[in-house]
Chain A
Amino acid sequence: MLKRIFWAGIFILATFTIAQAQSSLGIGTNEVSPAPALGGIFGWIYAQQQYFFRALQAALKLIRDGGTGGTLTLIGLSFAYGIFHAAGPGHGKAVISSYMFANEVALKRGIILSFASSLAQAISAIVLVGAGFLILRGAALTMTDAGWFLEMASYAMIAGIGALLLWRKLNGNTSAHAHKNHAHHDHAHQNHAHHDNAHHKHSGEGMVCESCGHSHAPDPTQLTGKSVSLRDAWGIVAAVGLRPCTGAIVVLSFALLNGLYAAGFASVLVMALGTAITVSALAAIAVYAKGAAVRFSGAHATWVGNAIEITGASLVLVLGLGLLYAGSLA
């Protein structure tokens, strides 16, 4: 217990001392993205983002000015924005699909996780902007600071979940109850020293852990028939959901300032619905890809299954550490 408090203290201290701003303008949060762009469609993405922002603004203004059709347009745009935006840089889909690789998780579970974490993200945006609107004005803490704190907490949790998954895998122990929850906190922080390594590995090698194939695999009998514990699921939802989406924050700020409360909340919730659909699709790809790889590998099925799960767990860990590192630089 003391150890937990100690590490929690170190973590809170670290988050307040590392950096001030997380975006180049010093206001608002940027999305941490390990690679700046994917060649070929960069310009298109850029234009789409601009188009969506302008269209969302136009719809909100139409509602404000009492025009007709504004609400429907806003809902439609928000939904589409959610679907497309989730294909951009974001930790949610990467964490969830890696998690699907790391565990023997049923697709249904993955979809529930995707929806729950997207909803959590919407709620965290609403709470953050709501607090900014109602409480933080007049307080020394700014929305940017609060947002940054949520972001770092989210990344630390992701790294912690990755470490926990990997630890379980390498110890051949699949029970969540065998280790009290402090296990994941300890791991997250013990790994801080390796930030640099993790980050370089992450960007240089397309996030695939090169030593995974050589890891000691757990006993095959332990790899079947396990399920995600409820605690794991809550962990994922909280880790992903803590970090609100920048798009949701700006739309909501505009809506609140213009007194469009219902429209703002509706827009953010519908965005989350769109995001959940994209993330579910990626989770499904992860499940099927893993299943196919294991089936096709015949005699090596156990080995391949283990390798995939260890890779998945490593990905979650490396992703968390990479985001934490990149975020602390910003």
Chain B
Amino acid sequence: MVHPFSKFIATALLLCVASTALAHPHVFAETRTEVIGNAGKLEALRHVWRFDEFFSSTVQLEFDKDGDNKLSDGELAAIGATIKKSTAQFNYFQNVYDNGREVKMTVPGEMTIGFDGPQMILIFESKPSSEVALSGDLMFGIFDETFYTSLDFINDTDLSGQGFPETCAFKVVRPDPDEAIAQNESTLTEQFFSDKEQGMSDFSKMFATRLEAKC
């Protein structure tokens, strides 16, 4: 017979697990990303993200400093600056891999904010911090590793490559998160608990909708 105390521990564990897991997004954005190549090198990733009306409302409330129900150019710039500063910690929600090597990305310009009716639109361009030749296996994943924002590419054509050598073949991959977790469960747990940052970045790599290019 199972010792009663172990039963209790099992129940307690179950309760704890049930109450701690299940992170999920609270912000949704319809995302379009163009990966731009030029003369055999990666030039930039150009993003246009359209945010849901709920989140757009909170942004409008939060940044309308003069309370006139309209966002001035200065207020819009403040939104862009806030998002830029914050997403910088997460490589601007991008995972770029050059033949297995992770590429650090920069955003040299501003993040531009506009409103299309009630929906906020974010436009920005991100460049690699080091030269990336368009050869071999390249991977461009877009994902918020904190699971706060859900970046959704509605159609496969919303994540595309332009200006690549003609020999390059593209594929848009949408990982099934449950499958990805199942396949990587043991290594993932180990990584996650031993080194938070590394673990998280691997996590986002697994879930990210990504464009793969074989050149």
Which residues of A are at the interface with B, using a C-beta cutoff of 8 A? 21, 23-28, 30-31, 33-46, 48-50, 53, 56-57, 87-90, 93-94, 97, 101, 129, 132-133, 136-138, 142-144, 200, 203-204, 206-208, 246-247, 249-251, 253-254, 256-258, 282, 285-286, 289-290, 292-293, 296-297, 300, 304, 307-308, 311, 315, 330
Contacts and interface: CB of A to CB of B under 8 A. Distances in A.
| Size bracket, chain B contacts | 35 or more
A282 B58 contact: no
A45 B24 contact: yes
Contacts of B11: 285, 289, 293
A257 B61 contact: yes
B57 A137 contact: no
B104 interface: no
Nearest to B179: A43
Interface stretch (B37-45, B130-138, B145-153, B161-169): B145-153
Interface in B65-100: 65-67, 79, 82-83, 85-87, 89-90, 93
Given A143-B58, A246-B26, A286 B15 contact: yes
A138 B66 CA distance: 5
A97 B58 contact: no
Contact of A203 (B144, B150, B193): B193
A203 B181 CA distance: 18
B19 interface: yes
B178 A43 contact: yes
A105 B83 CA distance: 46
A285 B203 CA distance: 32
B25 A49 contact: yes
Contacts of A41: 22, 178
A208 B58 contact: no
Given A137-B66, A143-B61, A33 B23 contact: yes
